[in-house]
């Protein structure tokens, strides 16, 4: 019985530490300037961009959004106007202006998409990291 309790205690302690490390690592990885390259608004047509839309994530949990003058942005695009916004990270979930999304960083690509159950058609944003 003691062995089972010991194993469960170690498992629970390890699980808690991994979540903290994951959130901390994600916070560090996201702090950069990212350019929106693709916006997939569910059932609507995909919008492709090059460097017209820039999101700069800062370590103080703010995002500076810069959209070039004359860029046609989809009205359903999150943060579709220039400004400073807030975000927070919990594991692989990012909350931007009180809306939660799943996100993944893979090398120089950031993928942000609706969390399960949030929207029937879902939104997916793909960013490329500034070098």
| Structure confidence by residue, pLDDT tens digits, 2-11 | 555 545 455 4
What CATH code is assigned to 2-129?
Answer: 2.40.128.280
pTM: 0.76
100 alpha-carbon distance from chain centroid: 9
Report percent pLDDT > 90 for the chain.
55
pLDDT digits (tens, 9 = 90+) for 16-28: 544 455 556 667 7
How far is 103 from 84, CA to CA, in rounded Å? 20
- pLDDT score of 76: 82
Q: Taking CA 61 as the corner, what is the angle to CA 57 and CA 66, rounded to the nearest 5 degrees?
A: 35
The 10s digit of each residue's pLDDT in 29-48 is 899 999 999 999 888 899 99
Q: What is the pLDDT of residue 70?
A: 86
Any alpha helices (H) in the chain, and if so which ranges? 2-30
């Amino acid at each position: 019985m003691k062995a089972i309790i010991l194993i469960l205690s170690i498992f629970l302690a390890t699980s808690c530490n991994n979540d903290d490390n994951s959130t901390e690592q994600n916070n560090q990885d996201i702090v950069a300037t990212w350019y929106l390259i693709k916006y997939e608004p569910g059932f609507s047509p995909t919008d492709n961009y090059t460097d017209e839309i820039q999101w700069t994530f800062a370590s103080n949990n703010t995002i500076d959004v810069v959209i070039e003058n004359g860029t046609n942005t989809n009205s359903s695009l999150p943060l579709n106007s220039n400004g400073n916004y807030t975000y927070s990270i919990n594991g692989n979930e990012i909350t931007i202006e009180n809306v939660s999304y799943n996100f993944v960083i893979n090398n120089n690509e950031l993928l942000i998409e609706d969390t399960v159950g949030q929207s029937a058609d879902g939104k997916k944003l793909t960013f490329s990291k500034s070098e």
